[in-house]
Amino acid sequence: MQNELVLLFRMLLAVLCGAMIGFERSRRQKEAGIRTHIMVTLGSALVVIVSKYGFLDVAGDPGINVDVSRMASNIITGVSFLGAGVIFLRGGYVKGLTTAAGIWTTAGVGCALGAGMYIIGICATATIIIIQIILHCSLPNPENMPVAELSFRTEYNQGILTEIKNCMHRLNVSILRLSMKKKRNDSMIISMTVRIPPNLTPDVILDAVSEKCSISDFSAQI
Residue 122 CA from chain centroid, whole number:
22
137 and 163 in one domain?
A: no
Q: Identify the CATH number of the domain in which residue 171 sits.
A: 3.30.70.260
pLDDT of residue 222: 64
Cβ-defined contacts of 72-78 (< 8 Å, 24+):
72/47, 72/48, 72/111, 72/115, 74/47, 75/43, 75/44, 75/47, 75/48, 75/107, 75/110, 75/111, 76/104, 76/107
From first to last of its 222 residues, what are the pLDDT tens digits of the chain? 557 788 888 888 999 998 888 887 777 666 677 888 888 888 888 888 887 777 666 565 666 666 666 777 777 777 777 777 767 655 555 667 777 778 888 888 888 888 888 888 889 888 888 877 776 665 445 555 677 788 878 777 777 778 778 888 888 887 878 888 877 777 788 888 877 777 777 778 777 777 767 776 777 666
pTM above 0.75, yes or no: no
Output the DSSP codes for 71-104.
Answer: HHHHHHHHHHHHHHTT-EEETTEEE-HHHHHHHH
C-alpha distance across the termini of the chain, in Å? 56
Rounded to whole angstroms, what are the CA distances from 196 to 96, 160, 168, 174, 192?
18, 20, 9, 7, 12
Residues 217, 114 share a domain = no
Judgement on whether residues 139 and 156 belong to the same structural domain of the protein: no
Q: Which residues pair with 174 in a beta bridge?
A: 195
- Which residues, listed in sequence order, are joined to residue 191 by a DSSP beta bridge? 151, 179
121/199 same-domain check: no
| One domain for residues 93 and 195 | no
**Shared domain check, 136 and 46:** yes
Q: Which amino acid is at 167?
A: C
* Total count of domains within the chain: 2
Shared domain for 60 and 45, answered yes or no, is: yes
Residue 170 and residue 61 in one domain: no
Last residue of a domain, one of 127, 143, 159: 143
Task: Assign 154 to helix, strand or coil.
Answer: strand
Residue 157 sits in the same domain as residue 136: no
Same domain, 200 and 213: yes
Structural domain of 98: 2-143
End-of-domain residue from the set 78, 111, 143: 143
- Which of 128, 143, 158 is a domain's end point? 143
